[in-house]
Structure 1
């Protein structure tokens, strides 16, 4: 394995619960410490995150700290980290994602034996959690449960919660698109541009996986994210890349109906009517039976969150 210099870039916002454990894990890696640094960007946190960051900066010369004077969101904050990095390989982590093993950095580095790869590690949820929604999300979002091939992944699998890319490639892509301020889509958009530039996305070794301690997000909060994703970020995504909608056929059927086009009416009205009628029943069911989500058909879950996507479409500024 060719040793590369590494910068681990972590946007931080109100991460006092997990930040100490994350930094402790990263400073205990088997990879040579003189070959990596940790770049923390405080996105105007309101909790004790800044104190924890300063504490670890004093403990280790590997830790670098920067601060935003207002909350800029993840795209702009990550770009600030990129611009302040000097190393060959950039690893992006979310502040509530903690590596499972000491070979985390090594797993990312080992993928980059050629110059055209992007690495992603699986993001799983804890086996024991006070939030029953965690295990449901793990069954739906943990890529190791869905991807068993060594072939390149589709662009929409790119997830910046645990991702690596050569710095020269990311600079060529001009980093993250700062038009994306709200949750979601900034990583999909980056993946789309990357694949169009002949980069390939691969799943790294399991030693590069992380555990996502996102216990603040329950079903209700997740639906709020879907609403925001639809209202704010999908219009930006489709405006920049009009053909991208062809890769999201389910979302396309939830968009506004063009009543002047009969095929549009024919394909969208039955789906949207079904979503609206089903939502009231599903809302009561999920509210009372959140623990049983893992036993429920993924189709019912998709129908449920589709209503929030439609609400976002409804509330967009035309």
Structure 2
């Protein structure tokens, strides 16, 4: 098979712990290096990320470092799209590493499926061997934890609403107008939903796998998922539609509202909802708690779900604030 030229884009910001592993796995792939360029789009990192990237560039000129003064991922991706010379663009994450056949399989499946984007199933791993880190890994690989097929796995290639570390046809990316730079989070799923609405096809292929290194303490997990939850509502606000997301994204918000809203008039309902939730995560924790204990596993579920749901409540407040500001601005213009 005549392999096409590909552009690999990796957004970066303070990734000194992960970037060398990521780049070594890219260099180990069996894809012809003369048909590959790797664009490292750095958000002006304040650790050793840039020095490491520049060292790789000196050894391998097809790896380039590009500045991203605005720091956010969608801007990084659009900078990559503007610089790209490949027929396909592959969006990677520095927190991951990739098997030797990763790029070749992406292209093969692209062609056989007639796809516009093809992505991998994720195997979540940790660098620290602690009960908390393993509990986080377990919850991110479980349907009750995240609900994403690309984390929990599928039995055959399936059409999906989004995929990680996707391989896009460059023609389709440019036709879509690239990434929405208003979205600090959820930019990938919004792009894929937009692609699907325009008749494109996104496929998740279980034969293609990548390793993702999860956050390893509850504080980091909570911070990340709070922002993810907040940006669910902000994504809907900026795009003017909830179609950019899926119903599963709002399950944590429903849980929190189910506990909080009945409190003033019927505490028994709140206790019942909380009790059902606790029982569900306890039973699930007994089943999936590998290299950790059930109670630490329960804590991982609770931190993930409640930080996400509280983030969604914060998102509602942020959207209301934006709407009020917009209304006042219009009033002053009159």
Q: Is the 8 A contact 1:177 1:186 kept in 2?
A: yes
When residues 300 and 172 of structure 1 are mapped into structure 2, their CA distance, relative to the original with a 3 A threshold, is same
Q: Could you tell me whether the CA contact under 8 Å between 1:126 and 1:135 is conserved in 2? A: no
The answer to whether the Cα contact below 8 Å between 1:275 and 1:306 also exists between their aligned partners in 2 is no
- After TM superposition, list the pairs within 5 Å mapping 1:113-132 onto structure 2: 113=111, 116-126=115-125, 129-130=128-129, 131-132=133-134
Distance 2:271 2:195 in 1: 34
1:138 aligns with 2:141: yes
**Superposed counterparts of 1:37-52, under 5 Å:** 37-52=37-52
1:140-289 residue pairs with structure 2 within 5 A?
140=145, 143=150, 145-153=152-160, 155=161, 157-159=162-164, 162-181=165-184, 184-204=185-205, 206=207, 208-215=208-215, 217-244=216-243, 247-248=246-247, 251=250, 254=253, 269=261, 274=270, 278=274
2:22 matched to 1:22? Answer: yes
Number of positions where the alignment pairs a residue of Structure 1 with one of Structure 2: 294
Q: Distance in 2 between matches of 1:82 and 1:271?
A: 50
1:298 shift after superposition: 10
Shift of 1:96: 1.2
Partner of 1:87: 86
Q: What is the deviation of 1:138?
A: 2.5
The answer for unaligned runs of 5 or more in structure 1 is: 256-264
SS of equivalent to 2:202: strand
* CA shift for structure 1 position 48: 0.4
**Structure 1 residues 122-162: Cα deviation after superposition (integer angstroms, max 9, x where no partner):** 22212764322123212345726342243311x2x333xx1
Determine which structure has the larger helix proportion and give its number.
2
Superposition deviation, residue 212 in structure 1: 1.3
User: In the aligned structure 2, how far is the partner of 1:312 from the partner of 1:274?
Assistant: 21
When structure 1 is superposed on structure 2, of 26-35 and 234-243 the one drifting more is 234-243
Contact 1:41 1:65 in 2 (8 A): yes
After superposition, the Cα gap between the structure-2 partners of 1:253 and 1:269, relative to the gap in structure 1 and judged at 3 Å, is farther
Deviation at 1:306, TM superposition (A): 5.2
Aligned to 2:141, the other structure's residue is in SS state: helix
Alpha-carbon displacement from aligned partner over 1:111-130 (angstroms, at most 9, x marks no partner)? 22165421111222127643
Contact 2:150 2:163 in 1 (8 A): no
* Equivalent position of 1:112 in the other structure: 110
CA distance in 2, matches of 1:219, 1:119: 32
Aligned to 2:13: 13
Give the Cα–Cα distance (whole angstroms) in 2 for the partners of residues 11 and 43 of structure 1: 8
List runs of 5+ in structure 2 lacking aligned partners: 283-288, 321-334
Residue pair 1:5, 1:87 contacting (<8 A) in 2 also: yes
Aligned 8 A contact 1:223 1:308 in 2: no
Q: 1:79 to 1:313 in 2, by over 3 A?
A: closer
The TM-score with structure 1 as length reference comes to 0.78
Following superposition, the deviation at residue 64 of structure 1 comes to: 1.3
Per-residue deviation, 1:200:
1.1
Deviation at 1:198, TM superposition (A): 1.1
Q: TM-score, normalised by structure 2?
A: 0.75
Q: Distance in 2 between matches of 1:110 and 1:269?
A: 51
